[in-house]
A and B are shown apart, each in its own frame.
Chain A
Amino acid sequence: MVELTRTRDSDALSYDVERVRADFPVLSRLVHERKGKPGKPLVYLDSGASAHKPRQVIEAMSRFMEEDYSNIHRGVHFLSQRATDRFDAVRGKVARFLNAPSDNTIVFTRSATEAINLVASSYGRTFLKEGDEVILSVMEHHANIVPWQLLQAEKGIVIKVVPVDDEGVFDLDAYAGLLSDRTKFVAITHCSNVLGTVTPAREIARLAHERGVPVLFDGSQAVVHRPVDVQEIDADFYVFTVHKLYGPTGLGVLYGKYELLKKMPPYQGGGDMIEAVSFEGTTFKLPPTRFEAGTPPITEVIGLGAAIDYVESLGREAIAAHEDDLLKYATQQLSQLEGLRILGTAPGKGPIISFTLDGVHPHDIGTIVDQYGVAIRVGRHCAEPLGERFGVGASARASFGLYNTRAEVDALVSSVRAVKEFFGA
């Protein structure tokens, strides 16, 4: 366990990354051991796709299944009550994590994707009609594009797209220009999974609210890298996924202002979300339960609680400072490689570096650095329109987490050097 006093300090120098690494069992493994040859240490620079889990999360989940597991909100027996209490406590923990005003604004979903689909489906199908406009940005992950396109096909809504400049900065003026009486919803990423750009969430929300338009932020990357206060940015909806936050897969979170959630119809029907069921008609519970049909991922919710405890024990400001140091160092080191182009250089960006290398396809970069134990993402990063914006079909992406080190940045840089030599690029 990491000492609170030591790591609460926001100075990156006092952040003991080696102690942090010791909490992550997978980080000590070797990769590519074969034919009697020793493996290479894993250099995991793909946390933006999914982060590894600390022992504290893994153990909390196993212990829960060994000691307290049961279905929730159903039984009168001891374990059911115990599991229910523990499950419900995490809702409160998530509310505090986002500085949400109350527990009942937090809905558990299967993923961030499902959270956005929930809003597009429940809010969108109820309150949007033909010709209404929804504003997205060109930086959106497919998860924040396709649900709105489904709504477009069904209801005839119109999708407007906010551009970014060559550095990847969100074009606030263009956004303001797109807002009109026809605008009925805004859904924007809080931190781009490709460029790392952090969007001016408070300003985006303020401008939308001037016209009474609700705003959803996709915070899947943002919550991992910096403290998020949904009241301060005045988000109407805020979603994130848990597996990028050092927690388990299969779980997402939707924050919604209660007065909005309350007027939204159910997204899925089933057990737990109903007050009374009869074939003459069924009445639904209040949010958040209304949106949690069926048995939820109970053990995963316990894992989320442990993940939040973990990042808070390290200190979110301290994590941000550490990751910012890695970002600066990596940017500086990679920039020295001739022919390497970094996509996204917005001021204040998150610790994500997408890049291309002249004469070498990203897929080939990925395969070669992997042979050196360096795990990066290559491809379109589920954000095809953005790749087109920057004139690249695909790119390579290194994303940093709380356990990465400068030595790992060096490993990345030297493996990219090897790629260049290999291809004579």
Chain B
Amino acid sequence: MMDELRELYQEVILDHGKNPRNFRHPEDANREAKGENPMCGDRFMVYLKLKDGVVEDVAFQGRGCAISTASASMMTEVVRGKTEADAKALFETFHDLCTKEDHEHGDHGPVDEEAMERLQVLAGVRQFPVRVKCATLAWHAMSAAIDGEDKASSETKD
């Protein structure tokens, strides 16, 4: 019974949830997008500093549950320094991790294996389908910011 809970709320997640990294608004950010989950009230702003197709800085602010906050925090750590294309490929791969069994994962091109290993702690949401939106919320916002959009709602997509 409680094993699933421990798997969902691993120490790393509790830590990032309580002490999110890059929880700030960079002054030189040149893209930002809002991620909002109307159902639970989670609301984040994701800020990017893009230069020559590379994510030079990424940070976020807002309020959300432990899962969404931890996922946003970890995202800022793994996306920094990536090209826009690599950041989006990482998101696709992470999305599969949250929603699909291992053998169903699609090929999204070469991804940062080390990053995926770190993100593995969030795979527990697979057992909690209603929480997938929490884990992917900031990622949707990051992806929207790269595309030059100002918001991503998790209401219409996981």
Contacts and interface: CB of A to CB of B under 8 A. Distances in A.
A368 B5 contact: yes
A369 to B, nearest CB: 11
A389 interface: no
Contact of B66 (A32, A364, A371, A378): A364
Given A37-B1, A423-B66, A367 B40 contact: no
A371 B64 CA distance: 20
A367 B41 contact: no
A387 interface: yes
Contact of B9 (A362, A378, A387, A422): A422
A262 interface: no
Interface string B27-57: 0000000000011111100000000000000
Interface string A372-395: 000000111000100100000110
A359 B1 contact: no
A361 B18 CA distance: 11
A380 B43 CA distance: 12
B146 interface: no
A425 to B, nearest CB: 10
Q: How large is the interface on B (under 10, 10 to 19, 20 to 34, 35 or more residues)?
A: 20 to 34
Contact of A363 (B4, B14, B42, B43): B42
Contacts of A393: 41-43, 63
Interface residues of A, number: 21
A361 B65 contact: yes
Contact of A422 (B5, B42, B43, B64): B5
Given A367-B8, A371-B2, A379 B41 contact: yes
B67 interface: yes
5 tightest A-B contacts by CB?
A: A394-B41, A361-B65, A363-B65, A393-B41, A379-B40
27 contacts: A360-B66, A361-B65, A361-B66, A361-B69, A363-B40, A363-B42, A363-B65, A363-B67, A363-B131, A364-B9, A364-B65, A367-B131, A368-B5, A368-B9, A371-B1, A371-B2, A371-B4, A371-B5, A378-B40, A379-B39, A379-B41, A380-B40, A380-B41, A393-B42, A393-B63, A394-B40, A394-B41
Interface of A: 32, 37, 40, 359-364, 367-368, 371, 378-380, 384, 387, 393-394, 422-423
